[in-house]
């Protein structure tokens, strides 16, 4: 009879193993089959958060991918149908910036000169370049996802779905045009993302001026009263629309001595000292800020063309700070986001005296064409000459500069299209109610708070590479039309449609205005790429133009996961789009992951140069090692400090132990030609010995705990339970305690039980571990399971579920007690200075708790073996144990162990013999003998040695596979003189053949 198992190397090359498994999966289409075989079952819907393909994948991306993979493999094994469509986020400024760098372009003007057509072609190309790296890493790490049919946000079909959804929003009147204040680089003529802004802060000195705004009064002859405001950007005064004070803080009216004359000023009481500096003053009145509300003041300049509302009034606002300035804030809606907001809330007007290059427009004749920062000096002089500059100083603060060209950024209002998310606030909150967040605090914490204070979504971007905003405006009558599909566009276009819906082609498409018959042209903007990815639930299906049923079956998603920074990113954009279009939550469970930090707990970033390269890890440690490290390092929702050393140690221990357990089995199963039985032919678990019953029971208990933990996304808990089982329960206890059962040469029932048990445990363990470490488990499974009736991949198996009938908690508890007693016994030996090899007469277990004693009684054999004692005695009280002969160790209040440490001649001889056997075994190993090789032994020593050896002759021969054992010396053999205790023993061996 031939063995069904293939031999294994004791030291395995995990990297090569993984490469072989990758090839196997490829060859056998294992992934596709794992999905297909569940078709018709309940669907577990997952949406892949499309990676932004503008850089190489780093460890954080890998973490996200393996967590996704774990959950999806697990759900598949649990019987769900889990299709997985890959996705690529391909639009957006980051892609454009990469291309700009390559081409050496800096401004939008330069891009237009270069040609939008070619520019966008390169953007499209660059995205594919990075995609390759992603595909490789994704495959290598074992993330099973369908990358042959991905959704790609730049595809016409995707764009068409996005257009459709925007039209739905437009039809509901939720799409409007407004202004948005953005950080803007006047030289590059482009808005910067907050991320880019954050890169460019510098300490600079700016002017700090205190300006007097004269309040209007009914009688012009009155002594003028001024509001004293403070600003560090004098040029923005041209755009002043209002002043703001805090509603509840105390303000004062003071008489202040100035060089020429006294003046009456109003400012916050708390700012008096600092703002008035050395000036003498006299407080005339005190009042709260709200008394000032609505007062009108004289404009500083009359240049501004103000549209859409009132101007030059005092407003109240909570954001007014008393930490600096005067407590009176100058408000210019064109140059500050809070400024813009407060004006809008109070129906104030708007004025924009600056053009897109940061120069004053024709509206400001003396300054026309002057760059705003250069106007500061001029404006200060004007104010001074008019006597309304109260004070001038310098102010040191950090201010953002363009990371690319180093120009100071301007906060600058640009026209922008918005989605009125504020009006959907209640729906957003209601939909959030239906979502389970992991970790739970996000639901009402970071995310919930964000929804409570939601702002309208500034949707448009004045850029090139993005989904074109599908709005056409009539040149004659100003009518606005949102195109919701390609067909619609075709029907109204005056020319043929381009093959590509991107700029610049789409900009050529002119529509006939239904209103006046005039020509409609598209607005120039593209849309925020967050809207693209937020549309994934339907746009990946090209809904509603295709796959209507497919979409309905896959909405809402059961599960998504990304890193925590996506809370206001994709997690939000999904909810926002879905709420606006369907008024449904787009996902029901969301797992937010922590970030991967470097070894020192600092975020990995390009600029810090601390990004760990994952490719060497794949080459040296392998994917399973990395996966296991990520799964066990801590809760998935906490940050992980990535340490390669830690990763190696953590995974080595687990992977090696798992491998060695398997290797042990394979080695002996081949020797014994063990072949696995079908379930119905196997020896029933309850007929097997207690160790077998224990490990099976433990396995099933752990199984339950693992499933429970994964369902809660406590992946670290599940992984650690499994690791503990493999290392402690299986390897270090079950196999170590049971190995002699495998060494018995002849066939017997107990050995069969041991083989069957270890076999079953290993196979089941592979299934339990398959979602975590898919490579090694597949490899082991491939060798262990050869039956044609069984699935031919571990990933095609059902996830094991606990069998209640084999769980024996009594036995598990008993074993726990026994393990504690073994530890106590070892300690007693250590305390008494007697090594384990020396047999002892007895150990006495004393407990007042009869139930505990009963448990120990059944497993007393283990104590005998582990503690190397002849007898185990149980007693309810310790009085029968004499103090002199026994070493006592307490396990707890109710359980103690007494080790009899008295040695007689017989025990000493046995100890001596054991030492000799141990030396012989070591020498066999020195000679690299096969486990089954027979040997001849020569020994020499004093009379006691001879007496001991002769007394245990059979024992020695059996243990060392010796056919001959003689006293004497032989220089031809491999010999050594050993020091055992305080005597010398000569031992020599040679193999027989």
Which residue ranges make up the site for RNA (CB under 7 A)?
10-11, 194, 198, 337-338, 441-442, 445-446, 449-450, 564-565, 567-569, 595, 597, 601-603, 633-635, 638-641, 643, 646, 649, 653, 656-657, 660-661, 663-664, 667, 716, 727-728, 731-732, 735-736, 739, 743, 823, 826-827, 830, 835-837, 892-893, 914, 918, 921-922, 924-925, 929-931, 933
**Contact predicate 945/912, CB 8 Å:** yes
> ∠ CA(108), CA(109), CA(111), 5° rounding?
65
Three-state DSSP at 843 gives strand
Which of 25, 50, 59, 855 is catalytic? The answer is: 50
**C-beta atoms surrounding 490 within 10 Å:** 12
- Spatial CB neighbours of 204, under 8 Å, sequence gap ≥ 6: 396, 397, 398, 399, 408
Annotation says 88 is catalytic: no
Annotation says 530 is catalytic: yes
Nearer residue to RNA within complex by CB, 589 or 731: 731
Query: What is the nearest approach in angstroms of RNA to the Cβ of residue 935?
Result: 8
Which of 68, 417, 532, 566 is catalytic? The answer is: 566
DSSP E strand stretches across 40-192: 85-88, 146-152, 175-185, 190-191
Query: What is the nearest approach in angstroms of RNA to the Cβ of residue 837?
Result: 4
Query: What is the nearest approach in angstroms of RNA to the Cβ of residue 10?
Result: 6
Query: What is the nearest approach in angstroms of RNA to the Cβ of residue 855?
Result: 18
Distance CA 710, CA 715 (A): 5
Nearer residue to RNA within complex by CB, 145 or 916: 916
For residue 363, the Cα-to-chain-centroid distance in whole angstroms is: 52
DSSP class per residue in 596-650: EE-TTS-B--TTTT-PPPHHHHHHHT-HHHHHHHHHHSS-TTS-EE--HHHHHHH
Nearest Cα to Cα of residue 894 among 856, 941, 924, 865: 856
**Contact predicate 871/842, CB 8 Å:** yes
Annotation says 603 is catalytic: yes
Query: What is the nearest approach in angstroms of RNA to the Cβ of residue 745?
Result: 13
**Contact predicate 985/940, CB 8 Å:** yes
Give the residue carrying structure tokens 């389970």: 436
**Residues paired with 267 in a beta bridge:** 252
Nearer residue to RNA within complex by CB, 214 or 918: 918
Distance CA 236, CA 619 (A): 57
Which CB contacts under 8 angstroms, 24+ apart, belong to 77-80? 77/767, 77/770, 77/771, 77/795, 77/797, 77/798, 77/799, 78/798, 78/799, 79/38, 79/41, 79/42, 79/798, 80/38, 80/41, 80/42, 80/43, 80/44
Which of 69, 89, 639, 915 is catalytic? The answer is: 89
**C-beta atoms surrounding 173 within 10 Å:** 9
Query: What is the nearest approach in angstroms of RNA to the Cβ of residue 597?
Result: 6
Which of 218, 394, 499, 606 is catalytic? The answer is: 606
Which of 101, 603, 608, 976 is catalytic? The answer is: 603
Tokens of 847: 């407990």
Nearer residue to RNA within complex by CB, 254 or 895: 895
Nearer residue to RNA within complex by CB, 340 or 555: 340
**Contact predicate 456/421, CB 8 Å:** yes
Nearer residue to RNA within complex by CB, 679 or 979: 979
Query: What is the nearest approach in angstroms of RNA to the Cβ of residue 706?
Result: 15
Tokens of 687: 């007929």
Three-state DSSP at 872 gives strand
Give the residue carrying structure tokens 């594919």: 128
What is each CA distance from 656 to 624, 731, 774, 925, in whole angstroms? 12, 11, 15, 22
Nearer residue to RNA within complex by CB, 78 or 180: 180
**Contact predicate 545/506, CB 8 Å:** no
Distance CA 356, CA 188 (A): 10
- Spatial CB neighbours of 145, under 8 Å, sequence gap ≥ 6: 48, 68, 69, 72, 84, 85, 86, 138
Three-state DSSP at 803 gives coil
Nearer residue to RNA within complex by CB, 444 or 582: 444
Phi then psi for 51, rounded to 5 degrees?
-65, 145
Give the residue carrying structure tokens 């798992």: 658
Give the residue carrying structure tokens 């499933």: 707
Nearer residue to RNA within complex by CB, 687 or 736: 736
Give the residue carrying structure tokens 């090789």: 933
Query: What is the nearest approach in angstroms of RNA to the Cβ of residue 60?
Result: 10
Nearer residue to RNA within complex by CB, 165 or 738: 738
Query: What is the nearest approach in angstroms of RNA to the Cβ of residue 716?
Result: 7
Query: What is the nearest approach in angstroms of RNA to the Cβ of residue 83?
Result: 30
Query: What is the nearest approach in angstroms of RNA to the Cβ of residue 819?
Result: 8
Nearer residue to RNA within complex by CB, 581 or 719: 719
Query: What is the nearest approach in angstroms of RNA to the Cβ of residue 927?
Result: 7
Annotation says 566 is catalytic: yes
Tokens of 286: 């005190």
Tokens of 720: 């650690």
Q: How many CA atoms lie within 13 A of 790 on its CB side?
A: 19
Annotation says 570 is catalytic: yes
**Contact predicate 462/182, CB 8 Å:** no
Nearer residue to RNA within complex by CB, 54 or 567: 567
Which of 88, 437, 457, 530 is catalytic? The answer is: 530
**C-beta atoms surrounding 789 within 10 Å:** 6
Annotation says 606 is catalytic: yes
Tokens of 226: 């001024």
Maximal CA-CA distance, the chain:
132
**Residues paired with 316 in a beta bridge:** 245
Nearer residue to RNA within complex by CB, 257 or 918: 918
Query: What is the nearest approach in angstroms of RNA to the Cβ of residue 386?
Result: 32
Distance CA 214, CA 250 (A): 20
Which of 134, 144, 570, 628 is catalytic? The answer is: 570
**Contact predicate 578/537, CB 8 Å:** yes
Burial per residue of 200-222, b for 16 or more beta-carbon CB atoms within 10 angstroms, e otherwise: beeeeebbbbbbbbebeeeeeee
Length of the chain: 993
Active site residues: 50, 89, 530, 566, 570, 603, 606
């Amino acid at each position: 009879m031939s063995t069904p198992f293939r031999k294994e190397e004791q030291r395995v090359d995990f990297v090569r193993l993984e490469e072989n498994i990758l090839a196997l999966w490829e060859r056998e289409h294992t992934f596709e089959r794992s999905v297909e075989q569940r078709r018709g079952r309940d669907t577990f819907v997952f949406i892949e958060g499309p990676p932004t393909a503008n850089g190489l994948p780093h460890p954080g991306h890998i973490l996200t991918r393996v967590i996704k993979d774990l959950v999806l493999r697990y759900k598949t094994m649990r019987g769900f149908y889990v299709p997985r469509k890959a996705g690529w986020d391909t639009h957006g400024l980051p892609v454009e910036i990469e291309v700009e760098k390559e081409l050496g372009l800096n401004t939008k003007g330069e891009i237009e000169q270069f040609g939008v057509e070619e520019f966008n072609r390169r953007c499209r190309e660059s995205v594919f370049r990075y995609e390759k790296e992603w595909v490789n890493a994704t495959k290598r790490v074992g993330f099973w996802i369908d990358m042959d049919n991905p959704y790609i946000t730049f595809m016409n079909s995707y764009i068409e779905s996005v257009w459709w959804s925007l039209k739905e929003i437009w039809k509901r009147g939720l799409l409007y045009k407004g202004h948005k204040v953005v950080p803007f680089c006047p030289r590059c003529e482009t808005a910067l993302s907050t991320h880019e802004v954050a890169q460019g802060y510098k300490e600079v000195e700016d002017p700090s001026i205190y300006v007097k705004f004269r309040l209007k009064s009914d009688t012009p002859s009155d002594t003028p009263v001024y509001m004293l405001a403070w600003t560090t950007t004098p040029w923005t005064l041209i755009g002043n629309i209002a002043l703001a004070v805090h509603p509840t803080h105390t303000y004062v009216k003071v008489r202040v001595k100035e060089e020429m004359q006294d003046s009456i000023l109003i400012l916050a009481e708390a700012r008096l000292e600092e703002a008035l500096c050395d000036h003498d003053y006299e407080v005339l009145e005190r009042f709260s800020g709200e008394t000032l509300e609505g007062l009108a003041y004289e404009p500083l300049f009359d240049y501004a063309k103000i549209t859409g509302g009132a101007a030059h009034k005092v407003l109240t606002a909570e954001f007014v700070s008393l930490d600096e300035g005067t407590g009176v804030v100058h408000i210019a809606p064109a140059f500050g986001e809070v400024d813009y907001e407060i004006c809008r809330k109070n129906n104030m007007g708007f004025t924009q005296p600056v053009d897109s290059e940061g120069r004053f427009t024709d509206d400001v004749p003396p300054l026309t064409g002057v760059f705003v920062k250069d106007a500061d000096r001029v404006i200060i002089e004007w104010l001074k000459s008019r006597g309304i500059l109260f004070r001038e100083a310098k102010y040191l603060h950090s201010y953002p500069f363009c990371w690319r060209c180093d120009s100071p950024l301007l906060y600058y209002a640009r026209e922008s299209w918005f989605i009125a998310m504020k009006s959907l606030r209640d729906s957003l909150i209601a939909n959030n109610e239906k979502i389970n967040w992991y970790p739970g605090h996000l639901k009402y914490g970071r995310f919930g708070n964000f929804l409570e204070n939601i702002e309208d979504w500034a949707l448009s971007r004045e850029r090139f590479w993005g989904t074109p905003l599908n709005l056409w405006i009539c040149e004659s009558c100003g009518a606005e039309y949102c195109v919701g599909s390609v067909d619609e566009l075709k029907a109204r276009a005056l020319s043929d449609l381009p093959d590509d819906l991107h700029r610049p082609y789409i900009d050529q498409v002119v529509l006939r205005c239904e209103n006046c018959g005039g020509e409609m042209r598209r607005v120039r903007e593209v849309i925020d790429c967050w809207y693209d990815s937020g549309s994934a639930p339907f746009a990946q299906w090209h809904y509603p133009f295709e796959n209507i049923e497919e979409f309905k079956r896959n909405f809402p998603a059961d599960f998504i996961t990304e890193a925590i920074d996506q809370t206001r990113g994709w997690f939000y954009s999904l909810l926002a789009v879905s709420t606006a279009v369907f008024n449904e939550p787009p996902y029901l469970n969301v797992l937010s992951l922590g970030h991967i930090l470097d070894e020192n707990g600092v975020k990995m970033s390009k600029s810090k140069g601390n990004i760990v390269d994952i490719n060497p890890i794949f080459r040296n440690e392998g994917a399973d090692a990395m996966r296991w490290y990520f799964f066990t390092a801590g809760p998935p929702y906490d940050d992980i400090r990535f340490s390669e050393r830690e990763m190696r140690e953590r995974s080595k221990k687990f992977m090696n132990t798992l491998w060695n357990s398997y290797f042990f089995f394979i080695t002996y199963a081949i020797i014994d030609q063990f072949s696995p039985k079908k379930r119905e032919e196997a020896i029933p678990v309850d007929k097997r010995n207690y160790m077998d019953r224990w490990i099976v029971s433990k396995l099933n208990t752990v199984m339950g705990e693992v499933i429970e933990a994964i369902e809660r996304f406590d992946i670290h808990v599940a992984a650690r339970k499994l690791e503990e089982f493999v290392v402690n329960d299986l390897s270090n206890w079950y196999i170590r305690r049971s190995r002699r059962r495998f060494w018995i040469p002849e066939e017997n029932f107990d050995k069969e039980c041991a083989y069957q048990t270890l076999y079953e445990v290993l196979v089941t363990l592979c299934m339990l571990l398959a979602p975590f470490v898919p490579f090694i488990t597949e490899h082991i499974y491939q060798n262990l399971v050869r039956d044609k009736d069984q699935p031919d991949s571990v990933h095609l198996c059902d996830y094991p579920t606990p069998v209640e009938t084999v769980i024996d908690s009594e036995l598990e508890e008993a074993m726990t007690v026994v393990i504690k007693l073994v530890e106590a016994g070892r300690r007693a030996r250590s305390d008494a200075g007697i090594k384990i090899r020396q047999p002892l007469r007895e150990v006495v277990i004393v407990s007042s708790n009869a139930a505990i004693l009963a448990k120990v009684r059944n497993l007393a054999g283990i104590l005998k073996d582990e503690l190397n004692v002849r007898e185990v005695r149980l007693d309810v009280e310790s009085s029968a144990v004499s103090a002199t002969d026994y070493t006592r160790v307490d396990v707890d209040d109710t359980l103690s162990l007494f080790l009899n440490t008295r040695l007689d001649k017989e025990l000493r001889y046995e100890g001596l013999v054991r030492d000799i056997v141990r030396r012989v075994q070591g020498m066999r190993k020195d000679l690299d003998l096969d486990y089954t090789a027979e040997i001849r032994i020569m020994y020499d020593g004093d009379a006691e040695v001879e007496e001991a050896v002769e007394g245990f002759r059979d024992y020695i021969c059996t243990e060392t596979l010796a056919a001959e054992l003689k006293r004497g010396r032989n220089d031809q053999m491999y010999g050594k003189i050993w020091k055992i205790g305080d005597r010398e023993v000569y031992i020599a061996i040679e193999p027989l053949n």
